[in-house]
Amino acid sequence: MFEICGPYTINGSVEVPGDKSISHRSIILSSITKEKVQIDNFLFSQDCLNTLKILKKIGVKYIINKDSILIEGHGVSGFIEPDDILYAGNSGTSIRLLSGLLCGCNFMSIISGDESVNNRPMDRIIRPLTAMGARIYGRDGNKKAPLVIFGGNKLKGIKHEINVSSAQVKSCLSIAALFAEGPTEIIQPEISRDHTERMLEYFGSEIIFDGKYTKIIPGKDLKGKDIFVPGDFSSAAFFIIAGLILKNSKIIIKNVGINPTRSYLLNILKEMDANIEIKNERTKNNEKIADITASSSNLKSINIKEGVIPNIIDEIPILSVAAAFAEGITIIRGAKELRLKESDRIKTIFNEFKKAGIKVHEYPDGLEIYGNPNTKIKSANLKSYGDHRIAMSLAVMALKGNCKVRINNTKCINTSFPEFESKLFNLVSR
């Protein structure tokens, strides 16, 4: 639980944990290679640890050393049948990406998650994997987890059009495509994150991709190379927004991943007149990295179009906080996917913002936020709904207030950013 009584300023520099999406992918894809791969700045969060535990149960060996991990890859034939159910916890990334891997393995497996994960839509991976020849079955008429996977069938490449752009679905199919006969093509209506494609290319896979279109041609062994995981942009976003909305503030976030399919929030914030600088740009293992400076700003509202939603989906909760203190009405539409996250994020933002005294309207697919730089946050008991991004967003919002705000059930933050509390409160002052 957090108890916060502002107003605060935030100043200094900080490094955020390694990128969660890249951390997941780094250990999954490294395990398919035949080399030892050292992964530096790995994120040891609950979600990533769940992926690691599953890999261990199917025979992957690794050594942990502080903030790095050494994966001993053993090729596509080296996985072994688990003797227990594989548990993904609260991680949709774990269950979806690993399902693609397990469909290519020569054994039977069952993969499950917590209540939230087991109620997220899994038919979006079951249908195309079945079309590839996999035998994969789910609860509720093949729509939800737990998933039962009978490996051993020969997979074939397919051409699949995804109705709703999803990096998790695309990555699941891309991993399964490595085990298939013939090329696999994946087409999306909008650009989504391309971390999997970039890492496959880095490891020597024959792959073509441009954000909306991905083609994987199997047959080449992945060649493991060492990886540095850049700072997680979604984690950096909490500090960026804090720097923008708090008075007399300037904060530098170092070594942040600015993959263009991931950091579109920066474009939106600049349209809102945010004082943001990008410095020290460079590329490591196919990913762009930079230092980001955010300073106190007079933000203005914005109308966010549906086409960019897949590139800011995880940042919408903290963007909503920025919108609450911007001048004017911010409209976010086409974001119904938010209702299928760790919580129904449209509903949770609506409920908790209202408690705090922020005027907001809920749509089936988004929000309308009535911003005001002089909004007075009410004293309130707020709920995280067990959602790490909601908990951290509410904490940043509370920094702007001038009365006590209590945020309950903040342990969920450990799923992505275990050091959030200490890093944030080491930088703020009254």
Q: Which residues are tagged catalytic? A: 314
Distances (CA, A) of 166 to 121, 170, 177, 192, 214: 12, 6, 17, 6, 12
In the structure encoding, which two tokens stand for residue 58, read together? 């199917």
Helical packing angle, 388-399 and 316-324, nearest 10°: 20
- At 349, list the tokens: 């933002």
Residue found by looking up tokens 């903290």 in the block: 318
**Two tokens, residue 309:** 């939603």
Neighbours of 58 (CB within 10 A): 19
Q: How deeply is 33 buried, as exposed, middle or buried, from its count of CB atoms within 10 A (0-12, 13-18, 19+)?
A: buried
The number of beta carbons lying within 10 Å of the beta carbon of residue 264 is 18
Q: For 328-387, where are the E strands, in sequence order? A: 328-332, 360-363, 366-371, 380-383
* DSSP codes of every residue in 155-186: PB--EEE-SS--HHHHHHHHHHHTTSBS-EEE
